[in-house]
Structure 1
Amino acid sequence: MEVLLLVVGSWLLLNVLYVLIVVPPRKAKPSSSLGRTIDAFRHFVRRGRRPPSS
């Protein structure tokens, strides 16, 4: 039972992180500390997603 809860909890955490990072925001940039942290993390993750140059 503990393993099942661990798997479900991990799956939910990954889904939440995916939504926070990948889905673009609907409104202007938030002014809260949490919003700025999430924006900085998004920028950090997307910085590494450049297509290979030929």
Structure 2
Amino acid sequence: MKWFLPRVAHRLLTGQLQELVDVMAPAVVLIVDAGGVAPAALASVHGLELVA
């Protein structure tokens, strides 16, 4: 698990989005919390296509 977060962060910061999608599970769930600072999704987002 130690390798996962640094790889995800690197792919996000360098724009390697296809490589990021390649490591996501098909049933991925995105949960957003902006801490009240910015607008965020009100409900979790389910599925690879919607999260990507």
TM-score after normalising by structure 2 = 0.27
Larger strand share, 1 or 2: 2
Larger Rg: 1
TM-score after normalising by structure 1 = 0.27
